[in-house]
Amino acid sequence: MDQPPTVLFDSYEQDFLHIIDGVRQKLEGEGRNGVGEQRKAALRKVEIELDEADDIVSQLETEIQGIPKSIQSAYTTRLKSARADLNKYKRLSKDLHSQAARSDLLGSSRRGPGTSSDDPYGERSDRERLLVGTETLDDGSRRLQDSTSLALQTETYGAEILTSLRGQREQIENSRNTLDTADRHIDRASGTLTKMIRQMYKQRVILGGIIAFFVVLILVILYFKLFRH
Is 27 part of a structural domain of the chain? Answer: yes
pLDDT for residue 120 is more than 70: no
Band the pLDDT of 131: cuts 50, 70, 90. Answer: low
pTM for this one?
A: 0.45
Q: What is the mean pLDDT of residues 185-197?
A: 82
Is 224 part of a structural domain of the chain? Answer: no
Q: What is the mean pLDDT of residues 130-137?
A: 69
> Which amino acid is residue 123, in one-letter code?
E
Is 226 part of a structural domain of the chain? Answer: no
Inter-residue long-range contacts of 81-87, CB under 8 Å, 24+ positions, other chains counted: 82/13, 82/16, 82/20, 82/57, 83/57, 85/20, 86/20, 86/50, 86/53, 86/54, 86/57
Query: Mean pLDDT lowest for which of 41-55, 71-85, 122-136, 155-169?
Result: 122-136
Is 198 part of a structural domain of the chain? Answer: no
Report the percentage of the chain scoring pLDDT > 70.
Answer: 80
Inter-residue long-range contacts of 197-205, CB under 8 Å, 24+ positions, other chains counted: none
Query: Mean pLDDT lowest for which of 30-44, 97-111, 118-132?
Result: 118-132
Is 192 part of a structural domain of the chain? Answer: no
DSSP string for residues in 31-81: HHH--HHHHHHHHHHHHHHHHHHHHHHHHHHHHGGGS-HHHHHHHHHHHHH
Is 118 part of a structural domain of the chain? Answer: yes
Q: Could you tell me the CA-to-CA distances from 112 to 104, 109, 125, 170 in Å, in that order?
A: 14, 8, 12, 75
pLDDT for residue 158 is more than 80: no
Is 204 part of a structural domain of the chain? Answer: no
Report the number of distinct structural domains present in the chain.
1
> Which amino acid is residue 221, in one-letter code?
I
Q: What is the pLDDT of residue 116?
A: 44
**Residues in the chain, total:** 229
115 with 126: CB under 8 angstroms? no
Q: Torsion angle of alpha carbons 209, 213, 219, 224, nearest 10°? A: 160
Which pLDDT tens digit goes with each residue over 3-30?
677 888 999 999 999 999 998 888 888 7
Q: Determine the structural domain holding residue 63 and report its residue range.
A: 7-181
Q: What is the pLDDT of residue 110?
A: 52
Is 101 part of a structural domain of the chain? Answer: yes
